[in-house]
Amino acid sequence: MFKRIPGTKDILPDEIIRWQEIERVSRKIFSLYNYKEIRTPFIEEAALYDRSLGETTEIVQKQMFLIKKEKDTYALRPEGTASIVRAYIENNLEKLHGFEKFYYIGAMFRMERPQKGRLRQFHHIGCETIGSKDPDADVEIICLADHLLKALGIKGYKITVNSLGCVKDKQELSSFLKDKLGKKLDSLCDDCKRRFDRNILRILDCKNEQCKKIVKDLNIRNDHLCPECRGTFDKIQERLNTIGIGYEVFPYLVRGLDYYTGTVFEIKHPDLGPQQDALGAGGRYDSLVKELGGPDTGATGFALGVERLLLASFAREEKPQPELIFVISLDEESRSNGINLLNRLRQAGIASDTSYCKRSLKAAMRRANDSNARGVIIIGEDELKKNVVTFKEMTSGKQNEFTEDELIKHLKT
Ligand code: HAM
């Protein structure tokens, strides 16, 4: 017996309805904001991620699925942003259109320790705007994320925002932390001891209680921001206030990917548990396009984790409208008419099915019920004689005879 790899999931048809609903609503909201879908490959050169996410980040250090082939090393994409920036540059989109707004829905891969809300193959719904440093684009993506969650009926989430500032500001904050935390290194957890040399900003959002206490005492208040970055961050908050987006500023919010500068944000939900409480996250990455060989231009975006959206309480748990028509042939003679009618229904655009297991009428009715059918068509000896079919509506239980043509007309109205 083969089993699925830990941290992967089979999404069975019963569950797929909610996935399709999330995807349908997301596409609708993205198009309201004029974002266009982009699909990039699942595999990229591993070096793309080393360069963009940062060689010292946990994803690059520990979580990439690598495929080595002769001299080349490929990686299964751990996230979407790097590939989209690569595609923007490679396809000369800067010269064609300049500013672009993309959205994407698809699988990502990270070699993590599997647990609730943390998988090795998971799915992102995300968007990226590339080609502008305008902070109003940050406002747009935060509004868009909020709109999307509301449209999905998700309640009780919290948006936290912060500004990491420009590259110089980030360096300033890192030096400050080196200075302050250097004296407390022995009291930090093992992960943070490693982070101290590799990625010191990450110590700020460590979940270990002892580390949390140490960083809290540092009393960080965005003092590292230069006047320009502080002004930009104030402006973003002003706009969010005017629009009426609920958010909190959290100066300890840093992100696990090196490419961020300026605005960063995270959306948390209490139903996800303390370890994996982020429904999604994003922010600005103004250095990345240039870093990957493109023009000196800005970019910002976010990604939501679909599995985590599903875990968060889903207020709009509605059953889809029944559409299916189920054809039941009572014997071998009526079977030929049944199969022919099934084909006619489908050609006429009416969703329909039949049972391919030899079953009693009762069992076939149960199957129709389980399929959430709108109605059943019954064909037996009597119907064949009269050249009609019997149609039964599932909700009302009303039953009438129709010729095939009449019934198709009736079902189409
Ligand atoms: P991220 O924070 O690494 O950001 O991932 C975004 C979201 O994906 C997380 O908040 C979480 O909901 C979900 N997620 C991440 N890892 C897993 C996992 N192992 N299992 C289940 N869900 C997971 C990014 O990936 C950035 N590319 C977001 C972004 C776009 N920033 C700018 N543009």
Q: Per the confidence metrics, is the pTM higher than 0.75?
A: yes
One-letter identity of residue 344: R
Two tokens, residue 172: 């300033």
- Sorting pLDDT into bands at 50, 70 and 90, what band is 232? very high
Closest ligand 1 atom to 120 CA: 19
Residues 206-234 have a mean pLDDT of: 93
Question: Can you say whether the dihedral through the CA atoms of 262, 267, 270, 271 is positive or negative?
Answer: negative
Indicate the average pLDDT of the chain.
94
Confidence of residue 358 (pLDDT cuts 50, 70, 90): confident
pLDDT of 315 reads 45
| CA-proximal residue: ligand 1, atom 14 (nearest) | 305
Q: Which residues, in sequence order, are CB contacts of 397 under 8 Å at separation 6+? A: none
How many Å is the Cα radius of gyration of the chain? 27
Structure tokens, 213:
């206490």
Q: Supply the residue whose CA is at minimum distance from atom 15 of ligand 1.
A: 305
Strands 121-130 and 66-69: unpaired
CB-based pocket (< 6 A), ligand 1: 79-81, 110, 112, 117-119, 122, 124, 126, 128, 278-283, 301-303, 305, 307-308
Nearest CA to ligand 1 atom 17: 118
Q: Tokens representing 139?
A: 């406002």
Report long-range pairs for 221-227 (Cβ below 8 Å, ≥24 apart). 221/251, 222/162, 222/163, 222/165, 222/249, 222/251, 224/165, 224/169, 224/170, 224/172, 224/173, 224/176, 225/163, 225/165, 225/169, 226/165, 226/166, 226/168, 226/169
Angle, CA 220 vertex, CA 218 and CA 223 arms, to 5°: 130
The answer to whether the CB of 104 falls within 8 A of the CB of 95 is: no
Q: How many CB atoms lie within 10 A of CB 188?
A: 20
Region label for 387, one of left (φ > 0), alpha (ψ between -120 and 50) or beta (otherwise): left
For residue range 46-104, what is the model confidence (pLDDT) as tens digits? 999 999 999 988 899 999 999 999 999 999 999 999 999 999 999 999 888 889 999 99
Ligand 1 mutation pick, 104, 308, 309, max ligand atoms within 8 A of CB: 308
Per-residue pLDDT reduced to its tens digit, 102-153: 999 999 999 999 998 999 999 999 999 999 999 999 999 999 999 999 999 9
Q: What is the pLDDT of residue 147?
A: 97
Distance between CA atoms of 349 and 339, rounded to whole angstroms? 16
**Strand (E) positions, 133-182?**
158-163
Amino acid 205: pLDDT: 85
Ligand 1 midpoint to CA 278 (Å): 8
pLDDT digits (tens, 9 = 90+) for 298-320: 999 999 999 999 998 654 555 66
